[in-house]
Structure 1
Amino acid sequence: MVFNIFKTFFLLGCTSFGGPAAHLGYFRKLFVEQLKWVDEPQYAQWIAISQVMPGPGSSQVGFAIGCHRAGIMGGLAAFVGFTLPSVMLMCAFAWFGTLVVGEQWFTNIISALKLMAVVIVADAALGMYRSFCSSRTLKLMALAGVLFTLAWPFGFAGLWLVAIAGLLGAGMRSKETPSMKDHRRPSLVRANVALVIFVVLFVVSLMLPDQGVAGLAAQFYQSGSLVFGGGHVVLPLISEFVSNDVSTSQVLTGYAAAQAVPGPMFTIATYLGAMVAPAEHSIIWALVATGAIFAPGLLLMLVGQAYWQRLAGYARAQGAVQYINAAVVGLLVATLVFPIIPTSVTTYWQIVVVGAAFVWVHGFKPPIWQVVVAFLAGAMTASLL
C-alpha cells in the first residue's frame, strides 16, 4: 500500500507542471475521479485547510491524501514521491547551471506543459463548481471568491477568503446545506503531538546560530512556518535569509527553475541549499533545506485535519464547510484567470489548442499520462517544424 502511494505520487510529481492550483487539479482528476481514493467533499475540505495553514498548499493536500490512505507512512510516501522529482531537478540546476534553458526544444516543452496546466485547472474548477455550487447563494459565494482574490492578489487572500466564507456559512446555514458524509477521523492525540513538535522546533530554530547547516535548517523552517500563499510568497522571505550567501541573480535563477520543473515550488529551497553549501556537502545541505521548509506545513496539516473533522460534525460548521467549498472554487477560478492564463496562453493558436484539449479532457476523461504525452508530443513536433 505505502509503496503504491509512493509510486503513484512519484509519477504524478514527474508531470505536475503549473504551480499549486494546477497540482490541485491533477490531484482531483487522479485521486477523486479516477482512483477514487477520496470523495469530493473530503478533498475540498483539505484544500480549505491548506488555505488557512502556512506552507505549500498542494504538498499539504497530497500529504493528507496519503495519510487518509495509509496513515503517517502513507502521508510521508505521498510527500516524498511527489517532491522527489523536483528535488532531483533542482539539484541538477544547481550543479550544471541553466545550460538547456535557452534551447528551443526546452522552451517548447515548458510552453506546452503550461498550456496543459490551464486545461487541468479549468477542468478541476468546472467539476468542483458543479459539485459545490448547487444553489444561487453558493454560486454567488464562488463569484465573490473570484472577485475577492483578483482584487486582493496577495499572500493572505486565500486565508481571508476562507475565513470570511466560513463565517458567512456558519451564520447563514439553511435547508440547502446537506449533511456531511461521515469520514474517518484522524487521531487527536497524533494532532496534538504534531502541534507540540511544530512549536518546539520553531522555538529551537530561533535559538540556533545563523551559520552552518543548523542555521540553514533554522532559517528555512522559519520560512515554512510563516508563509501563507505558497511558493510565490516564500520568495522574498527566503531571499532575505540567504542574501549574504547568494546573489539576487542566483535567487531569481532558482525561482525560475522552480517554476520550470514539475512539483512544488518550495523546492527552491533545494536549489538555494545546494548553492550556499560547501562543495563537498551540497546534497546534504540541499536535503536539509528541503526538509526544513516543508516540515512546518506537514505538521500543521495533521493538526488541521483532526480538528477540522471534529468541527464538521456541528450544524453551523456544516454550513461553513459548504460556503468554504464554494469559495475554494472561486479561488481556483481566480488563479486560472491570473496568473495561469496570462502567463501560459499568448497566441490565438494556443487558445485553439487549449479549447480542443479541454473538450477532450473534460468530455472523455483520459488518464493524466495520456494528457502529458499528447502535450509533449505537440511540443516536440513544434520543435521539428
Structure 2
Amino acid sequence: MIEVFWAFLKLGLSSFGGPTAHIGYFRTEFVTRRRWLDDAAFAERLALAQFLPGPASSQLGFAIGWHRAGPGGALAAFLGFTLPSATLMAAAGLWAVQLAPEGATAGALAGLKLVALAVVASAIWAMSRALCPDLPRRALAGLACVALLIWPVAALQIGVIALASLFGALSPWFARPIASPAPPMYETQARPLAMILLVMCACLALAPLAHAYLSSGALVFGGGHVVLPLLREALGARIDAESFLAGYGLAQAMPGPLFAFASYLGALEKGALGALIATAAIFAPGFALYALALPLWSRICARSAARGAVSAANAAVVGILAATWLAQLLPSGLVSGRHLAISAGLLALAFAPRVPPVGLVVLGTGLGAALL
C-alpha cells in the first residue's frame, strides 16, 4: 500500500493536462516503467472506466492500485493521486483566491498543455502497437476515431465501445487474444468494498451539501470537463458565477484529477468540512460502481468466448483516445510558431527512451514561461 501511495502521489504532483493526459502518464509509469501490469490488463481496466459514469482517470488509477495491492491499494492510489490537487483547491476556496494568470505564469500553463500533447501522443502510439497489431483492429480503431471526430459527444464513447464489443464477440477476427488475460482482481474482496462505498454514498446523502456532488459524480460520462455544466446546474445560486468560473480556471492549472474542483466549491460553501464532504461525494459513486463491476469484468475477460469483445473494445479505446488527442489537445500546439516548435521538441522527447514525464513537465513549464 505504501508503495502504491507514493507512486500515485508522485503522479498527483506532476500529472498535468486533464484526464486524457493522465492515461498517458499512468501507462508510462505502471506499464512501461514499473511493469505492474501489461497493455492488455491496462486497456481492459481503461475500457471499463469508459463504460461507467464517474472520473475515468481516477477510476483507472483506483483499478491499478487494486491490481497491485487489493482494496487497500485502491484507496492508496486515490489518496495519493487526489490529495495534492484537492488540498490546493480547498485552500483556494478557503481563501477565496481568484487567479488571472498572465505573463510568465500564463506561459508556464500553456507549456503544460503542450506537455500533455506529447505525453498522450506517446501513449496512444505505444497502445496502438500493442493492442492493434493487425488490420481488423487498426480498422476498428480508425472507425472509432473518425466517429468521435465527426460527433464529439461524450455519450458516444460508450456507444462506440459497446458496438465494438458486440462486433468483436460476433467476429472470428477478434476471437484470438493478443495477450494473456488479466490476472484476478481480488474478486472475493470486491463486494465488501462496493458495499462500504455505497454505504458511504448513503451517509453523504444525509448532508444537503453533498447532493449536488453525488448526483454529478454518478451521472457524468466522458471525464472531468463534462462535470462543469452538471455542477453549475446542480449548485444553482449557491455559488456565484464569477467564483465558480475562477475556480474552474484554477483547476485547469492543477495536476491530478479535475474532479478536485469539488474541493474548491465545497470550501467556498462550508469551509474545510465542506471541502471534505464535496470531495468524497463526487468521487464515491464512480468508485462504488467500479468496485461492483470489476469482478464481473474480470470473469468476462477470462472466458474465451468474450475475449473477442474485450479485444475489440481495447482497439476502440485506442481510437477514442486518438480522437480526443486530435480534437482537444492538438489545437493547443498549433496556436503559433513558438507553440509548434515547443510541441515538436516535446513530442520528440516523449518518444525518446528513458525520458520521464516529470522531466517533460519541468522542460515544458520552463519553455512556456520563457517563450510563450
Partner of 1:37: 36
- 1:97-130 superposed Cα distances (whole Å, 9 cap, x missing partner): 4555333121011011100000000000111111
- Whether contact under 8 Å (2:62, 2:74) holds in the other structure is yes
Is 1:231 paired with 2:224?
Answer: yes
Partner of 1:87: 86
Counterparts of 1:367 and 1:205, CA distance in 2: 39
Partner of 2:278: 289
Partner of 2:240: 247
Q: What is the CA-CA distance between 1:180 and the residue it aligns to?
A: 4.7
Is 1:257 paired with 2:256?
Answer: no
Counterparts of 2:202 and 2:182, CA distance in 1: 34
Partner of 1:321: 310
Is 1:358 paired with 2:347?
Answer: yes
Counterparts of 1:274 and 1:218, CA distance in 2: 15
- Percent identical among aligned pairs is 37
- 1:216-237 superposed Cα distances (whole Å, 9 cap, x missing partner): 1233122211111121111112
SS in 2 for 1:165: helix
Q: What is the CA-CA distance between 1:375 and the residue it aligns to?
A: 1.7
Counterparts of 1:326 and 1:31, CA distance in 2: 20
Note closer, same or farther for the CA distance 1:152–1:62 as it changes in structure 2 (3 Å cut): same
Partner of 1:3: 2
Gaps of 5+ in 2: none
- Whether contact under 8 Å (2:13, 2:256) holds in the other structure is yes
Q: Number of residue pairs matched?
A: 372
- Whether contact under 8 Å (1:31, 1:37) holds in the other structure is yes
- 1:351-380 superposed Cα distances (whole Å, 9 cap, x missing partner): 222122222221223122222222233234
Counterparts of 1:240 and 1:10, CA distance in 2: 32
TM-score by length of 2: 0.94
Partner AA of 2:182 in structure 1 = H
Partner AA of 2:371 in structure 1 = A
SS in 2 for 1:364: coil
TM-score by length of 1: 0.91
SS in 1 for 2:221: coil
- Whether contact under 8 Å (1:100, 1:106) holds in the other structure is no
Counterparts of 2:196 and 2:334, CA distance in 1: 44
Q: Which of 308, 312, 328 is equivalent to 2:297?
A: 308
Partner AA of 2:170 in structure 1 = G
Q: What is the CA-CA distance between 1:172 and the residue it aligns to?
A: 0.7
Partner AA of 2:100 in structure 1 = V
Counterparts of 1:122 and 1:15, CA distance in 2: 17
Deviates more, 1:75-84 or 1:148-157: 148-157
Deviates more, 1:54-63 or 1:178-187: 178-187
Is 1:168 paired with 2:167?
Answer: yes
Q: Which of 267, 273, 281 is equivalent to 2:266?
A: 273
- 1:84-103 superposed Cα distances (whole Å, 9 cap, x missing partner): 11112212322344555333
Note closer, same or farther for the CA distance 1:96–1:345 as it changes in structure 2 (3 Å cut): farther
Q: What is the CA-CA distance between 1:305 and the residue it aligns to?
A: 1.9
Counterparts of 2:139 and 2:45, CA distance in 1: 22
Q: What is the 5 A alignment of 1:113-128?
A: 113-128=112-127
Partner of 1:218: 211
Deviates more, 1:356-365 or 1:113-122: 356-365
Q: What is the 5 A alignment of 1:192-203?
A: 192-197=191-196
Q: What is the CA-CA distance between 1:189 and the residue it aligns to?
A: 4.0
Deviates more, 1:186-195 or 1:239-248: 186-195
Partner of 1:144: 143
Note closer, same or farther for the CA distance 1:47–1:204 as it changes in structure 2 (3 Å cut): same
Q: What is the CA-CA distance between 1:76 and the residue it aligns to?
A: 0.8
- 1:230-283 superposed Cα distances (whole Å, 9 cap, x missing partner): 211111121122112111222222222221211111111111111111xxxx11
Q: What is the CA-CA distance between 1:193 and the residue it aligns to?
A: 3.5
Counterparts of 1:268 and 1:132, CA distance in 2: 33
Counterparts of 1:199 and 1:79, CA distance in 2: 17
Is 1:381 paired with 2:337?
Answer: no
Gaps of 5+ in 1: 209-213
Partner of 2:109: 110
Partner of 1:340: 329
Note closer, same or farther for the CA distance 1:114–1:345 as it changes in structure 2 (3 Å cut): farther
Q: What is the CA-CA distance between 1:161 and the residue it aligns to?
A: 1.3
- Whether contact under 8 Å (1:166, 1:321) holds in the other structure is yes
SS in 1 for 2:346: helix
- Whether contact under 8 Å (1:86, 1:263) holds in the other structure is yes
Partner of 1:52: 51
